[in-house]
Structure 1
Amino acid sequence: MEFIAHIRENDGSIQTVEDHLLETKALAEKFGKSSGMGHICGLSALLHDAGKLTEEFRDYILKAVNDPEHAPKRGSVDHSTAGGKILFNSYHSTQSDPFYTVLSEVVGNAIISHHSYLHDFLTPDLDSPYLRRVKEKELLQFKQTKDYFYRKVMDENTFDHYVTAAKDELKILLKNYAPEDYPRHLHFITKFVFSSLIDADRTNTRLFEENQEYEPINSAELMDNYYDKLMMKIKAFKEHPDAGNRINKLRASMSDQCEDCAEKPSDIYTLSIPTGGGKTLASLRYALKHAKKYGKKRIFYIVPFTTIIEQNAQEVRKILQDDEHILEHHSNVIEEDYEENERFDGMISPEEKLRLAKDNWDSPIIFTTMVQFLNVFYEKKSRSVRRLHRLSDAVIIFDEVQKVPVKCVSLFNEALNFLKSICKSSIVLCTATQPALDFVDYKLDVPRNNDMISDINKVNLSFERTKIIDRSRQGPVTNEELQQFISTKLEDENSILVILNTKSAVRNLYVLLNECDSGVPLYHLSTSMCASHRKRLLAEIRKYLANNEQVICVTTQLIEAGVDVDFDCVIRSLAGLDSIAQAAGRCNRHGKKDIKKVYLIDHRDEKLSRLREIQKGKEISKKLLKEMKTEGGNEILSPPAMTRYFQEFYTDLESELDYYVPRVEKNMTDLLFWDRTQSDWVKSLYSKYNHPPKTYLVTSYGTAAEHFSVIDNLTTSVLVPYEEGKEHIADLNGYETIEHFSQFMKQAQHFSINIYSQQKQDLEKQGALVSFLDGAVLALKEGFYSDEFGLDIREDGAGFDNYVF
């Protein structure tokens, strides 16, 4: 009997279950090999669809294809439990080596979860969804499944040897850790296996549907080519007439030091280049040289906000002369319900094509955001975790790393430690204001003296281009008073940048300045604008700056994260020292003028009570500023002051660093990293039932992911009718192939914005949203997006103040 995994839409060809399992296994092995998990990942793929080896599933899929009007209910035949059950029955608590038990849990959980998300081994309510699937759920044709698997896919003896090889890999991965630390590392290993399985499964399904062969990108050849092009550009810089000025000489020296550091083994390094010091190209030089020497597959740039992705990617594309292999991943564009259940694996629907087309970061150079990075490890969506394994054997550059959200600090640190120790990736923490990530309980494993630039204090002094003037001591100012101050400064300066803490404050000041009509070009920026819109406005602003013409820009802090602009004067609403330093980096950026001034103000109209991190940063900065004897000076941004700032910041917010989940009254770190001797709910299990848990791992994957969100207010991605975005919206119902959907997603993210849940509700009430492809894609109607503000709806004032960027 021929068992069916998939049926191709265009010609009705069949992919057998055995072909799908073996081909997916081969892909998963490739994905896991460099991290020492080839057999572990391969084992998950080998068993993931074993449940399709039944007459029940064969009848189900044929009926669904041949008689779609009377098709059986999607998910009515369980095909993902059987593989996990095979492992559990044969290897869990049945072998003398306890690593078989651990292996069956790690791999079995990935298998049973590959259409949803990883199951809890133990919930805070003392339930075990994992055991309910692999131990308690009855599969009527389970014996038949096992028999067919050993007969058609892999014989029992060969399979046992394969499992043993996977078990041995797991032992090697954990050999350098104490047993009490195993669960913390197994958490990440399980997610790596899960990622490899999902990507291998979806990739093989896509290749079958498109009738294509797997063709991996030749990263080594591309990295060699990229490095040569970059060095040609650097040579051109050194021959430029301005190469001898003070700032450019410093930039060249730091770039050379980054190249020297690339010879060192992979590790976690800090790159403390001052703002405007050329860290994008210096870090790219390190990354390409290190990738060449150590055979790294990919280079990632992780940035705090979408605002600078297009800028940095455009800069790199221009140098490397390659549009095809440099990916910008702004947002997901497509809404995905993580509860996929047992999806229909017959003729592939448009919804299925969207799911298969989602980007899996299979590019040599990827630009993405901190939100997307953290989602890869902790979000309850398979679209995100699918990408995790791509972060292995890579160079990962975190731009403006100080912007890691406070509640995610411990989770961020542990993810980086895993990427360094097991995934063999090299990590660069890039910022002028290094946060004290080794000052918390879950420390980042950064070796001492691992800064890529020597004598950084001297470099900072040499890079001084601005003077900080503290006007906040004069008391809070209103927008009207701020408008008058801006008018005064226009008498002396051509270009003024104003950075405030909330969108509403920015918008209100912009409206007031517009009404005053000073005759000076005025711009407003916020993340209510899509990437393409911001790119156009920044291009216009830069023209005024380049010509030394008058211009005013009013913006949220989005401009502080590496946006390359050079204003004569900056006015910054009081915030954390890191934000003040980044704001100063937009003033006299290239050092072409005498020392320019950055003014700190205390804005009366900003409501920060529900923006705890900004409020706390402002309080600590105000305290440190009061300790200064004068109203001006750059001592406030010195490395000692910055270290003290972050230590006080993390101390004051210590209770929030581990991501507390109020609904279950547990920290995320407890749910994911603790073992049975640490977990209080496991101890309660002992006292209540007088027996230990029936699994080695007690990790609560699903519960933790259910409550994880990098941004407190949940957001939804929406396409907007801005320029080409109108065409993308109009074409949405015309896409047919997976390739078309893939192209659409890469283009559409430049014309999308993220809206908060309250904004979504308001827009729905006004009939402003249009749903496409069964709700997978949302688009904004015309009339709700403007050239001035981007998304143009009026929330009530209090709610709007909570939206920062």
Structure 2
Amino acid sequence: MNQMAQPKLYYSHYNSKMKTGTQLELHLQEVGEAAQQSVPSFLHFDVIDYQQIKRLLKAQGYFHDLGKYTDFFQEYMRWGKRSPYQNHAHISALFFYRYLQEGFGAVSEDQQTNEILSFLFYVLVRKHHSFLTIDHLFPKEEIPRMRRELAEQTYNLLDKKQALADTYMLSETQMEQMLQDIPKLLTDKKLTLSTTRFRKKYAHERWYFLMLYGFSQLVDKDKSSAARLLQRDQIHFQSEWVTQYIERKSKGQTSHVNQMREQARHTVIHQINKMTADEVASTRIFTLTAPTGIGKTLTSMQAAFRLGERLQVLYHYTPKIITAIPFVNIIEQTKIDYEEVLHGKGSLNVNHRLAHKHIIDSFQLKQEIPIEKAMLEVDSWEGDVVLTTFVQFFQSIFTGQNARLMKVNKLAGSIVILDEVQSIPEKYMPLIGAVIIKLSEYYGTRFILMSATQPYLLEMGQRLLSHGDTETKEMTPTYSRSLLPEYADYYQLQARTKLIPSFQRVLDTDSLMDFFAETWQNRSAVVVVNTIKRCINVYEQMKDQFSGKALVYHLSTNLIPIERKRVIEEVKIALTSDQTVILVSTQTIEAGVDLDFEVGYRDLAPIESLIQTAGRVNRNANRKDHNGETRACPVYIVCLEKDHQYIYMFHHMDRTKALLAKQDVIFEPHYLPLIDTYYAQMADHLSTESLELWKKGVQLLDFKKVSAFQLIPDDQSIVDVLIEWDEQAEKLADAYEMLRLDETELDLEWIACVTGEAITSKSISPFQKKALARLILSKLSVYMVQVRIQRFQQTKPLPFSDRGGVDTSFYWVPRNQLAEFYHIETGYGCVEEARMW
């Protein structure tokens, strides 16, 4: 072998332009030590304890890149010399497997457990750069190639056996023997048939959650080391920060609703304060059930902070706070509340599809972290408080994608607030309930489940866990603690609204208008329908008939996000100035949008959606009768043809309709029994989707099956269209093209001005360029609308590549063609029957 092929130093990562890199031995040490040190003491599995997991993860980190010591990899990385033997993951995994089999890394006295762990961690190392799977590991047609590859790599590593023995604290003889054994493992049926044997004999959900944790730790710490990203110290939360924010916000003003909010908040904090140390240690799941408008966002935040304070005293460990919200459109207001509470004392990581535009606020300017590192922090849930969506949260658990799984280890020991849990689709409630139970058991995660209509998530999860399994049928019910034990009293004290089922006949748009005219009485009204087409049709008729008497607005996902925000702000200003407003909306209005109308109209939907609409009516109890008492404002429930079938096809709408039809009027104090009856009926059966994903996906470690989980259906018939709405959209599109076209001379000063990012260097690396393009794309997303294929084919916007030659998956409406494709009031193009998503 020539001199060039014998580098004196071994690198894990190398920048050929800068002629610098990370030394391999240092990288292995960093990954192993970081994984070991980040395991919280709450982590526990029934077959392996906290200390054993720490040792196993440390060893995994040390061995995961052993294959990078080959000259084949070093020459490829440093000089671009390709070889069929440059792959490093498989030989690293086999050596780690052999190491564990030899007993050096034995973590359990039980031989069967050690065999399972050896196999599973072999998979984790082998797949740490790809999709996690235990399937198709040793296809017959690939064995000859694998044998040649391993033989060449082993022979190459034998030349370095002394250096490797020193690195891994083995004798030279042990290292030589273990290296020579590696090619033989391809004929070792104990390994090659492990997948089949596991599924026949050892299937259990514990292995799924252990694999997720181990894989997440490896991918997270590997990427952090490669990016030279330092681990952050978690700040110590103070629950008084929330009180201070509320005092700044209220400015001493009081009202009946504010008094109720304060009473509820103090009750919640008192519940946590009065818990004994043993109760704090053992209680993993909390519920916060209260009517809409009671201030659950700030109350749950303070509850999490107070719980964190108590855990810090007990364990000298401050947990991360992770808040997951069902809808992207309400995350902005929640973000503002969290930022105001933290008040610069901690970092807020906002992680969702549009999240990277928040990097500048949360990390870069405050802590001078390069943009690509800041993005890695966002993706890996670094930060004191993480704000994310249900989609990001749950689809990081039900997946085999390494980029998504990277963040899962951050759940261990954290406090997770799940807001509006009733919005979880019915078919997934047993599955999500089971996951919450198991995450709390295995990872020591503490959950605060928050809802105005608390579904039977835990009960359904318990049923799924015990389904057909004699081992778990005897398990005790999952214990949860209510943070507002007297929540029923809060419903009894409410008299803000009343539901009026109006199912005498099925309505179309014209008859809905007649019904509205009969009942409206010139009050500010919100009309919530189920489809975009209906929304626009009703809006146009409302505008024709009532624009002289009221301000009429339209709100749906047919508008670009930046315009939806504008509409909400305009409506809020009009309502607070006592102008009469009619807002026609899809379910976009239902959660987290702080608007207050006098009367509501809602097309048939699940009970929880009806209650959410009612939460936008008389929200602050300001409407009074002639005696000065709070007036129960009406929310009319109607049935608009078959619209509900397009949106809620997987819900049992007949059950909902039957429950509502039993009463002429349902006053707010009676919402709670109605909700309980609804969820009790739902809990009587387990959905096929939850059963299949749990039994065939989670327990059998079928990650392809698990990846079928989709909280929101990934509708392949939908495309993104960029609306070049204003000058800023145009400039962002220009900057995106500049980065994607790979121009050698980038005007970084101009890009910094357009994006608002602090770019101080005169040149950027390809990785930095990719990160910056990704950030700009997230900023462009506020100008994008999702369009169904049928509408797309009718309107035919231009491919974005027509703008400047950059190929993307989305399409484009130029500023000079806005009139042809987009209307300021109704949004994109012509409309047709479209689902809300």
User: Does the residue aligned with 1:638 lie in a helix, a strand or coil?
Assistant: helix
Q: CA deviation at 1:142?
A: 2.7
Question: Does the alignment pair 1:406 with 2:426?
Answer: yes
In the alignment, which residue of structure 2 is the partner of 1:682? none
In the alignment, which residue of structure 2 is the partner of 1:701? 703
Q: Name which of 27, 30, 41 aligns with 2:57.
A: 41
In the alignment, which residue of structure 2 is the partner of 1:469? 500
Q: CA deviation at 1:76?
A: 6.9
Paired AA for residue 309 in structure 2: K
Matches within 5 A, 1:535-614: 535-593=565-623, 594-604=631-641, 606=643, 608=645, 611-614=648-651
In the alignment, which residue of structure 2 is the partner of 1:80? 89
Per mean C-alpha deviation after superposition, the further-off stretch among 771-780 and 542-551 is 771-780
Paired AA for residue 69 in structure 2: L
Q: Distance in 2 between matches of 1:375 and 1:128?
A: 33
Q: CA deviation at 1:503?
A: 2.2
User: Does the residue aligned with 1:2 lie in a helix, a strand or coil?
Assistant: coil
In the alignment, which residue of structure 2 is the partner of 1:298? 320
Q: Name which of 152, 157, 162 aligns with 1:140.
A: 152
Q: CA deviation at 1:649?
A: 3.0
The Cα offsets for residues 423-476 of structure 1, whole Å up to 9 and x where unpaired, read as 22210110010111234332599745621112222211112211111112x211
Identify if the C-alpha distance between structure 1 residues 385 and 791 changes in structure 2 by more than 3 Å, giving closer, same or farther.
farther
In the alignment, which residue of structure 2 is the partner of 1:426? 446
Q: How many positions carry a matched residue from both structures?
A: 712
User: Does the residue aligned with 2:235 lie in a helix, a strand or coil?
Assistant: helix
Q: CA deviation at 1:571?
A: 0.5
Q: Distance in 2 between matches of 1:191 and 1:204?
A: 20
In the alignment, which residue of structure 2 is the partner of 1:63? 79
Per mean C-alpha deviation after superposition, the further-off stretch among 42-51 and 435-444 is 435-444
Question: Does the alignment pair 1:204 with 2:225?
Answer: yes
In the alignment, which residue of structure 1 is the partner of 2:402? 382
Identify if the C-alpha distance between structure 1 residues 541 and 185 changes in structure 2 by more than 3 Å, giving closer, same or farther.
same
User: Does the residue aligned with 1:361 lie in a helix, a strand or coil?
Assistant: coil
The Cα offsets for residues 350-393 of structure 1, whole Å up to 9 and x where unpaired, read as 99999957622112122211111111111343221111112222
Q: Distance in 2 between matches of 1:133 and 1:267?
A: 49
Identify if the C-alpha distance between structure 1 residues 671 and 186 changes in structure 2 by more than 3 Å, giving closer, same or farther.
same
Q: Distance in 2 between matches of 1:133 and 1:288?
A: 55
Per mean C-alpha deviation after superposition, the further-off stretch among 48-57 and 86-95 is 86-95
Q: Distance in 2 between matches of 1:289 and 1:184?
A: 32
Question: Does the alignment pair 1:28 with 2:35?
Answer: yes
The Cα offsets for residues 379-409 of structure 1, whole Å up to 9 and x where unpaired, read as 3432211111122221111111011123332
Identity fraction in percent: 20
User: Does the residue aligned with 1:257 lie in a helix, a strand or coil?
Assistant: helix
In the alignment, which residue of structure 2 is the partner of 1:114? 128
The Cα offsets for residues 742-778 of structure 1, whole Å up to 9 and x where unpaired, read as 5775675464257478479859964344499986775
Paired residues of 2:531 and 2:586 also in contact (CA < 8 A):
yes
Per mean C-alpha deviation after superposition, the further-off stretch among 130-139 and 391-400 is 130-139
Paired residues of 1:568 and 1:596 also in contact (CA < 8 A):
yes
Q: CA deviation at 1:790?
A: 7.9
Paired residues of 2:800 and 2:807 also in contact (CA < 8 A):
no
User: Does the residue aligned with 2:798 lie in a helix, a strand or coil?
Assistant: coil
Identify if the C-alpha distance between structure 1 residues 599 and 513 changes in structure 2 by more than 3 Å, giving closer, same or farther.
same
Q: Distance in 1 between matches of 2:806 and 2:151?
A: 32
In the alignment, which residue of structure 2 is the partner of 1:283? 300
Q: CA deviation at 1:488?
A: 4.4
Paired residues of 1:524 and 1:789 also in contact (CA < 8 A):
yes
TM-score with structure 1 length normalisation? 0.79
Identify the structure with bigger relative contact order (alpha carbons < 8 Å, sequence gap 6+). 1
Paired AA for residue 804 in structure 1: M
In the alignment, which residue of structure 2 is the partner of 1:169? none
Q: Distance in 2 between matches of 1:609 and 1:531?
A: 23
In the alignment, which residue of structure 2 is the partner of 1:454? 485
User: Does the residue aligned with 1:377 lie in a helix, a strand or coil?
Assistant: coil
Q: CA deviation at 1:127?
A: 7.6
Q: Which has the larger radius of gyration?
A: 2
Identify if the C-alpha distance between structure 1 residues 87 and 605 changes in structure 2 by more than 3 Å, giving closer, same or farther.
same
User: Does the residue aligned with 1:435 lie in a helix, a strand or coil?
Assistant: coil
In the alignment, which residue of structure 1 is the partner of 2:734? 730
Per mean C-alpha deviation after superposition, the further-off stretch among 760-769 and 294-303 is 760-769
Structure 1 residue ranges without an equivalent (≥5): 65-70, 164-178, 208-213, 335-349, 659-666, 675-697
User: Does the residue aligned with 2:396 lie in a helix, a strand or coil?
Assistant: helix
In the alignment, which residue of structure 2 is the partner of 1:502? 531
Q: Distance in 2 between matches of 1:356 and 1:76?
A: 30
In the alignment, which residue of structure 2 is the partner of 1:804? 836
Q: CA deviation at 1:307?
A: 1.4
Paired AA for residue 596 in structure 1: C
Paired AA for residue 118 in structure 2: S
Q: Distance in 2 between matches of 1:668 and 1:281?
A: 34
Q: Distance in 1 between matches of 2:810 and 2:558?
A: 16
The Cα offsets for residues 175-201 of structure 1, whole Å up to 9 and x where unpaired, read as xxxx99872011011111111111111
Structure 2 residue ranges without an equivalent (≥5): 1-7, 44-49, 179-199, 313-317, 357-369, 467-475, 624-630, 740-763
In the alignment, which residue of structure 2 is the partner of 1:322? 344
In the alignment, which residue of structure 2 is the partner of 1:53? 69
Q: CA deviation at 1:635?
A: 7.1
TM-score with structure 2 length normalisation? 0.76
User: Does the residue aligned with 2:482 lie in a helix, a strand or coil?
Assistant: coil
Paired AA for residue 711 in structure 1: I
Identify if the C-alpha distance between structure 1 residues 22 and 791 changes in structure 2 by more than 3 Å, giving closer, same or farther.
farther
Q: Distance in 1 between matches of 2:457 and 2:495?
A: 26
In the alignment, which residue of structure 2 is the partner of 1:174? none
Q: CA deviation at 1:16?
A: 2.5
Paired AA for residue 677 in structure 2: R
Q: Distance in 2 between matches of 1:192 and 1:159?
A: 34
Q: CA deviation at 1:249?
A: 2.1
Matches within 5 A, 1:164-563: 183-207=204-228, 214-221=229-236, 223-224=237-238, 227-235=239-247, 240-242=252-254, 245-263=255-273, 264=275, 265=280, 266-295=283-312, 296-322=318-344, 325-331=347-353, 359-440=379-460, 441-442=463-464, 447-448=478-479, 450-472=481-503, 474-493=504-523, 495-516=524-545, 518-519=547-548, 520-563=550-593
In the alignment, which residue of structure 2 is the partner of 1:17? 24
Q: CA deviation at 1:655?
A: 2.6
Q: CA deviation at 1:252?
A: 1.0
Question: Does the alignment pair 1:792 with 2:792?
Answer: no
Q: Distance in 2 between matches of 1:651 and 1:754?
A: 39
In the alignment, which residue of structure 1 is the partner of 2:748? none
Identify if the C-alpha distance between structure 1 residues 191 and 305 changes in structure 2 by more than 3 Å, giving closer, same or farther.
same
Identify if the C-alpha distance between structure 1 residues 157 and 767 changes in structure 2 by more than 3 Å, giving closer, same or farther.
farther
Q: Distance in 2 between matches of 1:527 and 1:416?
A: 31
Q: CA deviation at 1:717?
A: 6.8
Identify if the C-alpha distance between structure 1 residues 28 and 143 changes in structure 2 by more than 3 Å, giving closer, same or farther.
farther
Q: Name which of 665, 669, 686 aligns with 1:632.
A: 665
Q: Distance in 2 between matches of 1:763 and 1:28?
A: 53
In the alignment, which residue of structure 1 is the partner of 2:119? 105
Identify if the C-alpha distance between structure 1 residues 370 and 116 changes in structure 2 by more than 3 Å, giving closer, same or farther.
same
Identify if the C-alpha distance between structure 1 residues 72 and 351 changes in structure 2 by more than 3 Å, giving closer, same or farther.
farther
Q: CA deviation at 1:589?
A: 0.5
Identify if the C-alpha distance between structure 1 residues 23 and 734 changes in structure 2 by more than 3 Å, giving closer, same or farther.
farther
Paired AA for residue 304 in structure 2: A
Identify if the C-alpha distance between structure 1 residues 468 and 486 changes in structure 2 by more than 3 Å, giving closer, same or farther.
same
Q: CA deviation at 1:139?
A: 4.9
Q: Distance in 2 between matches of 1:247 and 1:139?
A: 74
